[in-house]
Homo-oligomer: A and B are copies of this chain.
């Protein structure tokens, strides 16, 4: 679905150094920042202090080639969200500080706060989920299927080559409302499957678990309830470190008994499909735990629905999946790419999780004055990581992305024909044709045709003295160099015909 145009457009290379070089430079630029001096400046002029030419740490500009790639990527994601009937909403980048407090646990320290300049105390949003919950509570919305694609802000340690920035896009799809179990949850997984397939990122697996099953496991292994969340975050590390390390953290830092840790180990190293669910439903200990039983029952139902969707081949019920955030209450999931087709790319990018989400039935209640609950389930597409992969892949392929959509360059072969160009281009614009011309009175024809090749414009509409006298326009196919005289009144139709998909 994401097609990369074959036509050359050297914009990126010409306009900015490659992103990773830039990122490296940022840190080494000497900081010539004396606030008092710069702020005193006021009107510029005389003995001016030159600003440091950089974007803030962990942020970046998108030159045209990157902006075009991002537009295509977001287009694919949004069209999937729309295919599933979601409406768009928008919320401010700024939220009251208190709206964000107490929602992110330890990560609260990563929130960007605004200076107190009088009035309300503000912060930049940290994700799109908490603003969504605030929106639902504030507007007393009981059910809604919405998507939201927007930037969020985290004062995290940037790792720009792996797509981790301080300002980055989130692409969220959420279903809020009281519905029959697992139907919206299954749709979220279907969406992840569709998007990763559409983007042709290579093989992937979607790991699924349920917080209730995890909590049930902890309970039957003898972990006290007060240590569930902390045990959860230790289990979460199993995708990066071996069980032995996780076990020693449980026993050491988290203070679990060695026996409890071993019992947990037997469970959380399990993964499989419907067969595993059935086995655990028969497990003498787990089947006695109310939470685990509920979770396993729902997991079975989920797999039934995913079978009808035909996507169980890429789904793994994985008891080691825990997810970082506190607010999940039921199903949780995470999609990971299995391997890159291109080893070189793998090494450079090093991506793992590219989508994640789950059920959070309590978050809206934290905002509602009466604690009214609105059950929610949602998915967030890890667009920055995917963007890194596509960017690296594009670079490796040597392909160039067009950064404009111009269909025709209006050109003249002789001098003193600016008026003819202006008149013709105006006719084309008014007919909805995407057209450009060079901003020179008398450009050379070669320069004009070169511009077409550089920027990927497929057609040139040439008016010279002869064409003006004959009432025609010479239409040139830039790639084949074929030229045909077209009666002026038929030009617009001919251009449309030629560019039909």
Q: What is A's interface to B at a CB cutoff of 8 Å?
A: 11, 15-17, 33, 35, 38-39, 41-44, 48-57, 59-64, 66-68, 70-71, 82-99, 101-103, 105, 108, 112-117, 119-122, 124, 134-135, 137-139, 141, 144, 146, 151, 153, 155, 167, 175, 177, 179-180, 183-184, 186, 190, 194, 305, 308-310, 326, 366-367, 369, 403-406, 418-419, 422-423, 426, 429-430, 432-436, 439-441
Contact = CB atoms under 8 A, between A and B. Distances in A.
B139 A15 contact: yes
Nearest to A131: B61
Contacts of A48: 102, 366
Nearest to A434: B83
A51 B367 contact: yes
B53 A190 contact: no
Given A35-B121, A43-B102, 12 more contacts: A48-B102, A48-B366, A50-B367, A51-B367, A55-B94, A56-B122, A62-B90, A67-B89, A68-B87, A86-B404, A112-B115, A186-B422
A184 to B, nearest CB: 5
Contacts of A17: 139
A52 B96 contact: yes
Q: What 6 pairs between A and B have smallest CB-CB spacing? A: A179-B439, A64-B87, A85-B436, A59-B92, A62-B90, A87-B403
B439 A177 contact: yes
Contact of A56 (B15, B52, B94): B94
A114 B112 contact: yes
13 contacts: A15-B139, A44-B102, A61-B92, A64-B88, A64-B146, A82-B434, A83-B432, A85-B406, A93-B151, A93-B167, A112-B114, A112-B115, A179-B440
Contact of A429 (B55, B84, B113, B124): B84
Contact of A16 (B55, B103, B139, B326): B139
Contacts of A439: 175, 177, 179-180, 183-184
Nearest to A135: B61
Contacts of A117: 112-113, 155
Contacts of A326: 43
A70 B87 CA distance: 13
B114 A88 contact: no
Given A68-B87, A83-B433, A89-B64, A138 B54 contact: yes
A105 B43 contact: yes
A423 B434 CA distance: 42
A146 B93 CA distance: 24
Contact of A33 (B56, B61, B91, B121): B121
Contacts of A15: 139, 141, 144
Interface centre among A50, A60, A98, A310 (most CB of B within 10 A): A98
A116 to B, nearest CB: 8
Contact of A440 (B88, B180, B429): B180
A422 B11 CA distance: 46
Contacts of A419: 308
A55 B91 contact: yes
A70 B90 CA distance: 10
A184 B437 CA distance: 10
